[in-house]
Structure 1
């Protein structure tokens, strides 16, 4: 893997997942990330015991690992002048300052743009927020289930009337991880711009803005048609029978997404053992296939439910159209494509406990980025402080006064 971020130092003052996961990606790609944690409790994520759906193992805190892999940790009291001085000295040696603190908190802690830039005019200043840096809710905190999922239209976009409830995100930190990718890309763009022009900039990414971008095509259609985006009713007949999910005999689902229905209908008829349907007048061309979509769907539904998933895997292996198996997370882990491309990486905690994480989604040099473990709280504190030029007596004094962990 080409470590494209090697030589870049990121200074992070952030907690939870949304913003920390961004610097975790940069660490995967070679950046040095110094994570500033609360001097007593550390990142609040360290104490999270449950997602609300699943209990987090006490052996390996995989959610902490997901968003903090490859970093160095320093516990620091930013409310003290001495702690703030340490932060400023680190900022003076960093390329990027990354935070998810709200505007009011940043001002109180004296870590806003002006304070950080006063110690390093060339630093890229990055803010991750819930609803954006401006507007009436700029100072209100949020989570991805709120700003990304509920407020940006994703929940309504998958909400069927027959559910009788608002669907929850499909997994923990779902919007956070999308937002983290967006922040990481923004940082890399800002660094490239600085390299080319010498000009530094501010990078702003919000969960709301990221969610709206994820729904960008739906927003474009909604604004054009002047109607909110909602999924079609379950009972609605699709115009294209080859863009459907079909149940197999053993309860699995196969997803077809053949947008050119007339092109792929004849070879699919061969796959299901009904070549006669290719010349059936009801399905002879795109117009007739669309007009008789309901009949085609009934035929395909009956065909697919007549065989098991393993049987369909063999029958569809050489099918020229686009299809896949609808998989759960563990099935995706064992997918041959996952293995071939290194999308899951092995890792071990500081205590040697094994665990696995999803690799960074961008690969450089035709290799997946190796995943390193997250730091223990303040694991690198002494090394970071002495590298700043603080002598050991000064470090001990800061420890005794509770300024550093």
Structure 2
């Protein structure tokens, strides 16, 4: 299929399938803003609320884009806040809380990731908003949930990886527990939160009712640990770290070529026989030590030695071309320098550019789902602090320039 064929019925002015949905974001750092970004990427109008002067703490995080203003230089912030509008609002002040409640009347979804109970103290929690807008979908994100013995515990992505089993199974067998290279559970939590909000909206279409959604980062981590929980509970076997190796099959590992690494995985005996033929070791297709999945796992060092001897003498392109032609799963291990140069990613717009108000042209990861009729894309860069104050406060609440100036002087916005 060609790209033009896929998009032959696309609406040229589409923002995405969620166009018309209004989301109010009261979030900082990663998980909450990722959830809002997921909805914004699909076309929702997301209004991000930030504290005056300082803004989202994520604006200070590295790595940083060179030659950019301090509050607009954070690559993580720029990445997870695209496609949004931004206002400043001080939740700590009663006037700010009242303004938030007024804004909430216009929203379909509210996303917040403050500590459990914080927004209740500020009178902008679920019950407060529900009293004003009964059909609101209100999503609360935290490390360990809004209730439970550990719900008050502070926690970040690292805590969720530690407590959710991820670190215990990541890393080399003889090494320490290791977190993933990126904030994987922050991102997973954001995706789960967006998914949950959309599910609640579907129910609202049928019933007219909104609801409160509780998203715990550790819950999200545990939800992607395959059979780990069942394995420990039912058989008493605790999943152990194995590096890049698979728990039950071999070969599954990274192998060094002449110009970098490939990742190779053989799932069944037919693939193994094909691999043996390609590497010129046909005898190991029927050798009792390697003929079956179980035998290969039991003799993993031998299996990996056979593969490595062949792979080491070739380039990544040669290995991938030869093995993929035989339906064997192998791919080059790409770093981000490779990724931004890969034509396939450019054509699919999963690597794309957008213009920022103060930074200039930014290269982003794009929108992963492709919609044939309502395409979604990176429409706008992350906003500067308070960029849309006049627009949102003016069109939503009718505030004029004098009112905005008075609120700014009072440090409300």
SS in 2 for 1:180: helix
Kindly state the Cα deviation for residue 238 of structure 1 after the two structures are TM-superposed: 8.2
Aligned to 2:108: 95
Over the residues paired in the alignment, what is the CA RMSD in angstroms? 2.7
Specify the alignment match of 1:16 in structure 2: 29
Matches within 5 A, 1:78-93: 78-93=91-106
Q: How does 1:66-145 map to 2 (within 5 A)?
A: 66-145=79-158
Q: Displacement, 1:285?
A: 6.0
Using the size of structure 2 for normalisation, the TM-score is: 0.86
C-alpha distance 47-58 of structure 1, shift in aligned 2 (>3 A): farther
Cα displacement (A) at 1:161:
5.0
1:390 aligns to 2:403 (yes or no): no
Query: Does the 8 Å CA contact 1:237/1:294 hold for their aligned counterparts?
Result: no
Counterpart among 197, 203, 224 of residue 187 in structure 1: 197
Question: Deviation of residue 356 (structure 1)?
Answer: 1.5
Say if 1:219 and 1:37 are closer, same or farther in 2 by CA, change over 3 A: same
> Equivalences for 1:36-47 in 2 at 5 Å?
36-47=49-60
- Residue of structure 1 aligned with 2:273, choices 266, 273, 276: 266
Question: For residue 306 of structure 2, what is the aligned residue in structure 1?
Answer: 299
C-alpha separation in 2, matches of 1:289 and 1:127: 47
Q: Which residue is equivalent to 2:165?
A: 153
Determine if contact 1:343/1:368 at 8 Å carries over to the other structure: no
- Given the two structures, how large is their TM-score scaled by the length of structure 1? 0.88
Q: For residues 82-109 of structure 1, what are the alpha-carbon distances to aligned partners after superposition, in whole Å with 9 as ceiling and x for unaligned?
A: 2222111111111111111122321221
**Counterpart-to-counterpart distance in 2, 1:403 and 1:305:** 63
Partner of 1:348: 355
SS of the equivalent of 1:19 reads helix
Report whether the alignment pairs 1:245 with 2:254: yes
Q: How far apart, in 1, do the equivalents of 2:36 and 2:404 lie?
A: 27
SS, match of residue 354 in structure 2: strand
Indicate whether 1:202 and 2:215 are aligned: no
1:244-303 C-alpha deviation (Å, 9 max, x unpaired): 4332244x232222211x211232233223456546676566677667665443322222
Change (3 A) 1:222 1:339: farther
Cα distance in 1 for partners of 2:243, 2:371 equals 42
Q: Distance in 2 between matches of 1:200 and 1:246?
A: 51
The aligned counterpart of 2:265 is: 257
**Partner residue, 1:403:** 412
Distance in 2 (CA, whole Å) between partners of 1:286 and 1:135 is: 43
User: Structure 2: which 5+ runs fail to align?
Assistant: 1-9
Equivalent position of 1:170 in the other structure: 181
Deviations 1:207-260 (A, max 9, x none): 1111111214222222222233212489x998744434332244x232222211
1-side partners of 2:412 and 2:189: how far apart?
32
Tell which deviates more after alignment, 304-313 or 372-381.
304-313
CA gap of 1:90–1:264, structure 2 versus 1, over 3 A, is same
- Structure 1 alignment gaps of length 5 or more: none
Structure 1 pair 289–127 and aligned structure 2 pair: CA distance change class (3 A):
closer
Whether 1:212 and 2:225 are equivalent positions in the alignment is no
Aligned length: 394
Secondary structure of the 1:214 match is coil
- Provide the C-alpha distance between the structure 2 equivalents of 1:325 and 1:293, rounded to a whole number of angstroms: 22
Distance 2:239 2:393 in 1: 53
C-alpha distance 58-218 of structure 1, shift in aligned 2 (>3 A)? farther
Structure 1 window deviating more from structure 2 (174-183 vs 54-63): it is 54-63
**Structure 1 residue aligned with 2:386, among 353, 368, 378?**
378
* In structure 1, distance between residues paired with 2:313 and 2:287: 22
